[in-house]
Structure 1
Amino acid sequence: MSRPSIVVKISGKLVEDTGSLQGLVGVLRELINEYRVAIVVGGGRLARKYVSFLGSLQAPKSLMDIAGIEASRFYARVLALALGSTAPVPRSYEEFLTQLATGVNPIVAGGFQPGQSTTAVAALIAEAMRAERLVIATVVDGVFDRDPAKHPDAKLFPRLSITEALRVIESSTEPGRYELLEPYAASILQRSGTRVYIVNGRHPERVLEAARGGEPIGTLLTPD
């Protein structure tokens, strides 16, 4: 009997924090023993630093995207090595599918091509795997009505539809800051029916509970 599949998306900021990374590595090892797991890794501050630098040189946005993807690949490779995997980081959707077919638990960078968000990659992978859940491990507790870093009274939504979440994030006083969801990723999640848990990855136990389908502190997104 085949094991159920899950996808875990990890913010690059969590990879940069080795304390958080150590906790996540332990959780991911547990999950790999229970599920078929694919992991998608963002580029964090490294990506933003060099995207900003190229922007200051007026580089084309597609080249800025490539810099961000390469940063994500480096972080994905670091995580792979921490998990004891020597499998290469897939450089395309087709390479990901090949790894999946050979039984590898793929560790993927947040972007196969320019213009593609990390969440969109995670959504595509969840769809391909028919994943039961997509867990987004980030550095906030979930989706808020306002940026919680600037507004201590911001309200956490424990559950939203994907359409509601997209509306909240787009209408936030700090648009684009959460980097949790964008229209293309939302459309993939809608058509595949994937349930999404958004949790704070600095608390690895929340990632573990969400991946197992529990109810950790965070936000559950459901298809409309």
Structure 2
Amino acid sequence: MTTVINLGGSVLAPSLEKENFEEYANSLREIAKQEQLFIVTGGGVKAREYIGVARELGVNEAVCDKIGIDVTRLNARLLISALKSEAYPDPPKSYKEAENAMALDKIIVMGGVIPGQSTDAVAAILAEYVQADQIIFATSVNGVYDKDPNLNGDAKKIDKLSPTKLVKIVMETEIKAGSKAVVDPLAAKVIERSKIPTVVMNGKDPEAIKKAVLENKHQGTIIED
């Protein structure tokens, strides 16, 4: 089995403390005993802070994207450091490099790839590229809602939905550097075409991610036809 986990920066690195990275590394090691494992790390708060300053300096969105990518790769390097010899030593900069790294039987950790693609999209495209069996979006929320729960008190969590319905929900999201959508529109469209079973879940507890992957036990949203 091959699993791609999109590990949001807001859960992996809400603050820069080594304990966060060590705790996730411990759970990921257990998963990797049974799975070929790819991790895509987000940028989280730090990426949005850097992007915010860049916008104030008047740079364009493509440059903001590049700055965000740099931060995601820093988070990837810290997680690789926590995983030590069990991880591929460098964050792949392309999908092909990630695929080639599979031959070493290591946990492969990467950040962003190119401007215009969030790490959500990177995870979905990577999963398609390596023919993954499942995608896990480990986020700061517990699933997909019918509307933004931060803005709508009557928002309802959806336990299961089709990729097409996911696309419909997220298409209202603005695509720009640092977006905080639970799954961005490009990622949703890739999931729709690839039909790879996907879970969106709260990833703040590393053990919960391990149970979701190895035991299929979680409180998140299942995305599949």
TM-score range, shorter chain: 0.7 to 0.9
Cα deviation 1:33-66 (Å, max 9, x = unaligned): 1100000000111111111111111112111100
Contact 2:88 2:107 in 1 (8 A): no
* Aligned residue number for residue 8 of structure 2: 11
Alignment of 1:24-173 (within 5 A): 24-84=24-84, 85=87, 87-109=89-111, 111-151=112-152, 153-171=154-172
- Counterpart CA distance in 2 for 1:206 and 1:32 is 15
- Counterpart CA distance in 1 for 2:129 and 2:56 is 37
For the structure 1 residues 165 and 159, does the alpha-carbon distance in structure 2 shift closer, same or farther, using more than 3 Å as the test? same
1:184 alignment partner, SS class? helix
Alignment of 1:190-209 (within 5 A): 190-209=192-211
Contact 1:24 1:201 in 2 (8 A): no
- Counterpart CA distance in 2 for 1:157 and 1:166 is 14
Contact 2:170 2:185 in 1 (8 A): no
Shift of 1:184: 2.5
1:83 alignment partner, SS class? helix
- Which moved further from structure 2: 124-133 or 93-102? 93-102
Gaps in structure 2 of 5+ consecutive residues: none
How many residue pairs were aligned? Answer: 217
- Counterpart CA distance in 1 for 2:217 and 2:174 is 27
For the structure 1 residues 20 and 142, does the alpha-carbon distance in structure 2 shift closer, same or farther, using more than 3 Å as the test? farther
- Which moved further from structure 2: 89-98 or 72-81? 89-98
Contact 2:167 2:188 in 1 (8 A): yes
For the structure 1 residues 105 and 81, does the alpha-carbon distance in structure 2 shift closer, same or farther, using more than 3 Å as the test? same
- Which moved further from structure 2: 65-74 or 50-59? 50-59
Gaps in structure 1 of 5+ consecutive residues: none
- Counterpart CA distance in 2 for 1:219 and 1:93 is 26
- Tell me which amino acid in the other structure corresponds to 2:208: R
Shift of 1:69: 0.0
Relative to the length of structure 2, the TM-score reads 0.87
- Which moved further from structure 2: 200-209 or 16-25? 16-25
> Percent identity of the aligned residues?
31
- Counterpart CA distance in 2 for 1:135 and 1:21 is 18
Cα deviation 1:11-39 (Å, max 9, x = unaligned): 01112245654442222111011100000
- Counterpart CA distance in 1 for 2:125 and 2:174 is 24
1:46 alignment partner, SS class? helix
1:53 alignment partner, SS class? helix
1:9 alignment partner, SS class? strand
Cα deviation 1:59-102 (Å, max 9, x = unaligned): 12111100000000000111111111361111222322221233
Shift of 1:178: 4.6
Contact 1:145 1:154 in 2 (8 A): yes
